[in-house]
Amino acid sequence: MAVSVTLPALGESVTEGTVTRWLKQIGETVEADEPLLEVSTDKVDTEIPSPAAGVLLEIVVAEDETVEVGARLAVIGAPEAVPTAPGPVVTAPATAARTPEAQVLDAQVPAAREPVAQTPAAPAPVPAPAPDPAPAPAPAAPRPAVEAPPVQALATQVPGRDVPEEPSSLRGRTVGMSRIRRIIGDSLKKALQEQAQLTTVVEVDVTRLMRLRERVKEDFAVREGVKLSPLPFFILAAAQTLKAHPVINARINEGEGTVTYFDEENIGIAVDTPKGLMTPVIKRAGDLTVAGIARTTLDMATRARDGSLRPDDVSGATFTISNTGSRGALFDTVIVPPGQAAILGIGATVKRPAVVEADGGTVIGVRDLVHLSLSYDHRLVDGADAARYLVAVRTLLEAAPFADDLLPLGDR
């Protein structure tokens, strides 16, 4: 009995997908739940498993074709149902074996395999006598050879560059735009066209937080099995603060004239991958601990980079965080994703002199400082709303009340 393979629902608001690669070919055996093909959507690239065991009888949708959810992709059936149409027979001369290149050429030019009637060749015309050659010019005096410095040597001459980077292989090339890059571009362009976006920035003194992290990170790694980076603290502070600032954790329902204020803090985390930007979602982040967020963040980032995210992993975000500070950026004016009211950008944490209160007076001290930027849809979020939210996040981070999550009772 033949079984149709259809494009399943691949997450919230996903209506179509593009077949990027068939993992099986017609006539090959496939087991139930074995990956059959890869599909790309505006949310994630994912594998579609076979719904039954059997043989791939038919491929309905070719690679690079886009179809809607529910469309038939292929047919799985019994082995005896595989078509057995004979292919053309090519006879090679007995005196020489055909090379693979010649076989490809034969396949591309069928006429080369047909016998051709021999006709007498026309006599070749007699060539006219060639003129006497002109005398060769005297050789020019040799110029002294100048050896061009290698690229790496040139790079080391640039002021301020101690470690030169290798030139990219893309220099001087024109290449096709990947599907994921087109999707990202279209989505961000749509967001900018439909929203009134604005950005507000605050500076946060995270010295106390960095000291707490330094104090507990070794024990944390042993106990939890993951490294403790600063990011989970920022995610937890941002998520918990959303509970008291619902306008930041909301969505405008276009065409309905309504606003949905979410009762969950589902935080999308922008992850830089070889294929492009992916945004897996930490569900109910406001109810997790620092350790829970650290484990989930590592799992999501790892699976985003190795391509094993599921559709549910990238669906349902109510708010997004972009940690470009991990790449050295001071701060960003990040773009709010469609269907959300705001996005938080985390800049690089740097040591700088700052004015601090000490013993009833002010002094200059070396502090760990970071910029937080909140981009928001001004149709829903006012500048005062954004400032109140950012100040609340700053207050939480500067107080660093996370010891209960990280230290044994006697060490708090």
What is the token pair recorded at 234? 């920022």
Please pick, among 378, 404, 405, 411, the residue that the annotation labels catalytic. 378
Measured CA to CA, the distance from residue 176 to residue 390 in angstroms comes to 40
- 305-344 per-residue burial string, b: 16 or more CB within 10 A, e: under 16: eeeebebebbbebbbbbbbbbeeebebbebbbbbebbbbb
What is the token pair recorded at 395? 């207050």
DSSP letters for 262-292: -SS--EEE-EEETTEEE--EETTGGGS-HHH
Which residues, other chains included, contact 71 with Cβ-Cβ below 8 Å and sequence gap of 6+? 6, 7, 61
Q: Calculate the dihedral angle through the C-alpha atoms of 39, 42, 44, 49, rounding to the nearest 10 degrees.
A: -30
Please pick, among 33, 64, 186, 382, the residue that the annotation labels catalytic. 382
- Please give the helix or strand (H or E) that residue 113 lies within, else none: none
Measured CA to CA, the distance from residue 156 to residue 149 in angstroms comes to 11
Residue recorded with tokens 């886009």? 66
Measured CA to CA, the distance from residue 312 to residue 12 in angstroms comes to 8
Among residues 98, 102, 42, 52, the alpha carbon closest in space to that of 77 is found at 52
Measured CA to CA, the distance from residue 83 to residue 105 in angstroms comes to 26
What is the token pair recorded at 315? 């669906």
Measured CA to CA, the distance from residue 10 to residue 30 in angstroms comes to 22
DSSP secondary structure letter of residue 287? G
Assess whether 33 carries a catalytic annotation.
Answer: no
Q: Calculate the dihedral angle through the C-alpha atoms of 322, 325, 329, 332, rounding to the nearest 10 degrees.
A: 30
Assess whether 245 carries a catalytic annotation.
Answer: no
Measured CA to CA, the distance from residue 365 to residue 179 in angstroms comes to 49
**Would the CA dihedral through 232, 237, 240, 245 be positive or negative?**
negative
Q: Residue 41 corresponds to which amino acid?
A: T
Measured CA to CA, the distance from residue 49 to residue 38 in angstroms comes to 9
Active site residues: 378, 382
